[in-house]
Amino acid sequence: MTAKKVIGAALAGLVGYVGASAVALAQDTIKVGVLHSLSGTMAISETTLKDAMLMLIEEQNKKGGLLGKQLEPVVVDPASDWPLFAEKARELIEVEEVDVVFGCWTSVSRKSVLPVFEELNSLLFYPVQYEGEESQRNVFYTGAAPNQQAIPAVDYLAEVEGVERWVLAGTDYVYPRTTNKILETYLKAKGVADEDIMINYTPFGHSDWQTIVADIKEFGSAGKKTAVVSTINGDANVPFYKELGNQGIEASDIPVVAFSVGEEELAGIDTAPLVGHLAAWNYFMSVPTPENDAFIEAWHEFIGDDARVTNDPMEAHYIGFNMWAQAVEKAGTTDPDAVIDSIIGVSVPNLTGGYSAMMPNHHITKPVLIGEIQDDGQFATVYETPGLVVGDAWSDFLPDSKDLISDWRKPMECGNFNTATGKCGGMTSE
């Protein structure tokens, strides 16, 4: 063999070794995608969820990782840009080759990525309350469905607060519109008249609330107890609550119950004028349990700031991450099909002192809590469901979905099985 051939063979062997080493290195970690807005209007809510995921991954690695491998976070910023969510999801799955993704906040961002996860057969854990009317094989919904937040909140206002007039105020996108459609149908079925329901939508980032709050104040002056059911999302909440205070609207006059305002959002607001207004979630930082105390302590140590709060979507990520980890261990692999099969029935501790289980419809069991805003930005729980509530993928209060159920177990594997016709709709979502 000539010297040139010897060198060539050596180089070829070296290239092969380097290539094999790179593959081995890539396989040495399990990649976890984090798909949350770190800029734009939703950064106020989503940045904390990115931090929470990094904490959960770090804690899992301290326990030895999964399947003998360390977890590697891969963080991207879809920048509150809904089409960009789909691009970043594809990047995570195809380029970064992540094994699972935790992310999204708004329903429009989730809707944007659904086709990507279905096409590429990857897994998304979605941690935020949403409007329901969806069940996708590749998605696990760890936030609240309407029957785990909106319906119990309205029942509480009607039965405890004596509310008779309703302002349904939301940001103009799919979650508020669908949730309010469900609530409007539900209220009318309860005997509420058309004239006692006011519906208003505003764009993301809306800042001029003077006229709208004045209209709410006028609507509430008709002699019937009035409440605002708020599905306002993102940083628009700051000027909304500020304007409530400016116009002297107190909780004793017109209580507001919010579905998208938690401890993180209140951290940027002077809460003194808002004491007594409400929020409906499945977790509050103020819940006194050993599990929650440990979570808060770990969070403060990780983030290096004892003033940082925790909130409901963080708990949803905590639950979802632990469910995924347990399902991976159970399946012995991160393969999506195997995890999908193994995760149903998995039960893990939540932070309110009980256990949450993954149901066949890819929703989980959760308690429902109603809390009053306190002057320190925390919530005092004023109501809690006596037991866990199973998330309902399809609302019982909409004609087109009342007969639908979701069950991803074999042999059904259907996201919208019609119990009236006995047939699967052939779609994973609507």
Same domain for 169 and 271, yes or no, is: yes
Q: Whole-number mean pLDDT of the chain?
A: 92
- The Cβ of residue 179 has, within 10 Å, a number of other Cβ atoms equal to 27
CA angle 274–278–280, rounded 5-degree value: 150
Taking only the tens place, the pLDDT of each residue in 299-321 is 999 999 999 999 999 999 999 99
Q: For residue 269, what pLDDT is reported?
A: 74
Same domain for 137 and 152, yes or no, is: no
Within-domain flag for 239:
yes
The region of weakest confidence among 58-72, 241-255, 313-327 is: 241-255
Residue 23: is its pLDDT beyond 80? no
Q: For residue 265, what pLDDT is reported?
A: 81
Point out the domain boundary residue: 263, 281, 299: 281
Burial label, 9 (beta-carbon count in 10 A; 0-12, 13-18, 19+): exposed
Within-domain flag for 256:
yes
Taking only the tens place, the pLDDT of each residue in 220-229 is 999 999 999 9
Model confidence at 27, pLDDT cuts 50, 70, 90, reads low
Same domain for 152 and 140, yes or no, is: no
Q: For residue 235, what pLDDT is reported?
A: 81
Q: For residue 220, what pLDDT is reported?
A: 96
The region of weakest confidence among 2-11, 38-47, 70-79 is: 2-11
Residue 234: is its pLDDT beyond 90? no
Model confidence at 26, pLDDT cuts 50, 70, 90, reads very low
Maximum CA extent, the chain? 101
Residue 396: is its pLDDT beyond 70? yes
Within-domain flag for 413:
no
Residue 13: is its pLDDT beyond 90? no
Spatial neighbors of 425 by CB under 8 A, at least 6 apart, are 404, 414, 415, 416, 417, 418
The region of weakest confidence among 114-128, 160-174, 413-427 is: 413-427
Q: For residue 426, what pLDDT is reported?
A: 59
Determine what percent of the chain is predicted with pLDDT higher than 90. Answer: 84
CATH of the domain at 59: 3.40.50.2300
What is the tally of structural domains in the chain?
2
Q: How far is CA 406 from the centre of its chain?
A: 19
- The Cβ of residue 307 has, within 10 Å, a number of other Cβ atoms equal to 7
**Mean local confidence (pLDDT), 168-184:** 95
Taking only the tens place, the pLDDT of each residue in 339-352 is 999 999 999 999 99
Same domain for 169 and 236, yes or no, is: yes
In terms of residue numbers, what domain contains 226? Answer: 148-281
Same domain for 120 and 222, yes or no, is: no
Beta bridge partners of 369: 281, 384
Taking only the tens place, the pLDDT of each residue in 198-210 is 999 999 999 999 9
